[in-house]
Chains A and B, each alone.
Chain A
Amino acid sequence: MTVKQLSIFLENRSGTLTKVLDILKESGIQIIASAIADTAEYGILRILCSDPSLAYKKLEEGGVAVALSDVFAIELDSQPGRAADTIKLFSDASLSVIYMYSFLFHGRGLLIFRTDNAAQAEEIIRSACLNSLTENDLAKWE
């Protein structure tokens, strides 16, 4: 029910992002979605990509601080208010969203997030019949 997300530690100086992107490029990995959480001195780059296991291996070999984590990726249609409706399901159950990012492409939307209680979140997703993507779905997602 979840997908693998890469979290990458980046120092705030020029060249650090390029290094990461170059490694992914050389391994033929496609970025599906990404977001950066930044502070004054460093940032955390979060990526959904076509082959997270390979990306993790290549980045680690390249000396990049990288972590793999499970996040939810819910597919939504492009009607306004879908994100609000979805997140409300979780907040009504007193779950916290730790971080979230999303994108909309050709009428299909993807909402990517992590909560403080994965098991409970899965229950909510199941009972609300949300389209939660898996690693396989993601590889085919175009």
Chain B
Amino acid sequence: MIWNPNKECMSRDEMSALQGKRLHKIVEYVYHNVPFYRHKLQEMDLTPDDIRTIDDIVKLPFTTKKDLRDNYPFGLQAAPQSEIIRIHASSGTTGNPTIVGYTRKDIGVWSECMARCLTAYGVGRDDIFSVAYGYGLFTGGLGAHNGVEMVGASVVPASTGNTEKHAKLIRDLGITGIACTPSYALYLAETMEKIGITKDQIKLRVGAFGAEPWTEKMREEIEERLGLKGFNIYGLSEVMGPSVSYECQLQHGSHINEDHFYPEIINPVTLEPLPKGQQGELVFTTLTKEGMPVIRYRTRDLCSLMAGECECGRTNVRMSPVNGRSDDMLIIRGINVFPSQVESVVLGMKEFAPQYLLIVDRVNNLDTLQIQVELRQEYFTTTFATPAAIEDLLKRLCAKLKSVLSIGADVQLKAPGTLARSQGKSSHVIDNRKLV
């Protein structure tokens, strides 16, 4: 089933023409409504009239996460506040989160894109579908929720946490579909086994998994343990949220909703656009967004765009699975974590040396984060030399980390001089998760 064949199965020429028309419109829109973009275009001696076809996109400047941060909170918002009906926030690299406002039309487009994903997965009005992404500032929960309502399935807003209750509901309500992170799906499977819910007692048949990298091996394991078919869903809040791209039944790459999100692949060093099939950094331009449009936004995700048509009938371009980052961002339990966030907290507390180490692992299918910090020798004084004072200091550190990272971390205090010193480019991260 295809939700919107008019858009998902357009001829390539029609799609290019539509994209060109929309690109011109969005550039004109941001030029007149966002000083940041207007100045950038003026600096490059460009006006919206220079952007006529989709191929003209290469003339436009890139937008980065730093631009979003520098313009916190509403600097890149194009629509007046009275038109914004929802605001999401994602973690920023240091301090400020990224704020994304949506107009009523944006929420409509997002819901439709999500409905396209769910329909491709085979979800329809007869399904009972549970959304186990976090509901809140994170776009996963509410984003998926709206799409499930749009296709007319019964949505169960389970959110994360309370996994045992969720497992019981899956059995008792006969829930047929679920959206969550792949690691949470495995944790759910484990919880079910623990409380004695077997695969033949549940009716799950579709899973929409995303918000963190996963592998074919994880897919096999989830499918085997939960008895469903698992589909990839991709998205990011800066562009929209989940539903930027989705797998069809053939599961050979993820179709991009490219009538709304125009993809490019660039060389992350030279910023040169790369042809189809070549791996590079994924860049998106939102073609229809009103609240906070982005022009050539650098996602930092590494993947390639796939050439050729898909046998499912959809003509929209597919992207390969994301298999890396062109920056040091980590995705831990679906939450974006930058080592620089940890650095800002550690450097902000004079008791600690400016060295730190993040150790990421996956235990029982749940990501764990350990942060090692070093006590500064000169702060180990009479007042500090008791376990109670040190515990108190660590508690303060944990609270600060939690508020910046949005996830809890296990903090380990090391003796002065024991963490590796920066020798040129020192690595602050050890990621022990096996994703292959």
Contacts and interface: CB of A to CB of B under 8 A. Distances in A.
Interface of A: 7, 9-11, 16, 37-39, 41-44, 60, 63-69, 98-99
Interface stretch (B12-20, B92-100, B271-279, B383-391): B383-391
A39 B412 contact: no
B58 interface: no
A99 B415 CA distance: 22
B5 interface: no
A67 B377 CA distance: 9
Given A7-B382, A11-B415, A11-B418, A65 B377 contact: yes
B381 interface: yes
A65 B375 contact: yes
B380 interface: yes
A16 B413 CA distance: 14
B416 interface: yes
26 contacts: A7-B386, A9-B380, A9-B385, A9-B415, A9-B416, A10-B415, A11-B413, A11-B414, A11-B415, A16-B415, A37-B387, A39-B390, A39-B391, A41-B412, A41-B413, A42-B413, A43-B387, A63-B416, A64-B416, A65-B377, A65-B416, A66-B380, A67-B384, A67-B385, A68-B382, A69-B385
Nearest to B415: A11
A43 B415 CA distance: 10
Contact of B390 (A42, A63, A98, A99): A42
B417 interface: yes
Contact of A44 (B377, B387, B414, B418): B387
Given A16-B415, A42-B413, A69-B385, 7 more contacts: A11-B418, A38-B387, A63-B377, A65-B375, A65-B380, A67-B384, A69-B382
A54 to B, nearest CB: 18
Interface residues of B, number: 18
Contact of B386 (A11, A38, A98): A98
B325 to A, nearest CB: 31
Contacts of B412: 41
Contacts of B391: 39
Nearest to A43: B387
Nearest to A37: B387
A79 B382 CA distance: 32
Nearest to A70: B382
Interface of B: 375, 377, 380-382, 384-387, 390-391, 412-418
A9 B413 CA distance: 10
- Determine chain B's interface SS by DSSP, over half rule: loop
Nearest to B416: A65
Contacts of B413: 11, 41-42
Contacts of B414: 11
Most buried by B among A9, A65, A67: A65
Contact of A64 (B386, B387, B415): B415
A7 B387 contact: no
Contact of A65 (B382, B386, B387, B415): B415
A69 B385 CA distance: 9
Contact of B375 (A7, A9, A68): A9
Nearest to B382: A69
B237 to A, nearest CB: 36
Nearest to B377: A65
A44 B415 contact: no
B381 A67 contact: yes
B382 A60 contact: no
Contacts of A9: 375, 380, 385, 415-416
A10 B416 CA distance: 10
Shortest Cβ-Cβ A-B pairs, 6 listed? A7-B385, A69-B382, A65-B380, A63-B417, A67-B385, A65-B416
Contacts of B380: 7, 9, 65-67
Contacts of B390: 39, 42, 44
Nearest to A60: B377
B415 A37 contact: no
B382 A67 contact: yes
A9 B386 CA distance: 9
A44 B416 contact: no
Nearest to A98: B386
Given A9-B380, A65-B375, A67-B381, A37 B416 contact: no
B420 to A, nearest CB: 14
A66 to B, nearest CB: 7
A67 B390 CA distance: 14
A137 B196 CA distance: 69
Contacts of B384: 67
A40 to B, nearest CB: 10
A91 B375 CA distance: 33
Nearest to B388: A98
A44 B386 contact: yes
A99 B385 CA distance: 11
A67 B384 CA distance: 9
Nearest to A16: B415
Contacts of A64: 415-416
Contacts of A7: 380, 382, 385-386
Given A11-B418, A64-B415, A66-B380, A37 B375 contact: no
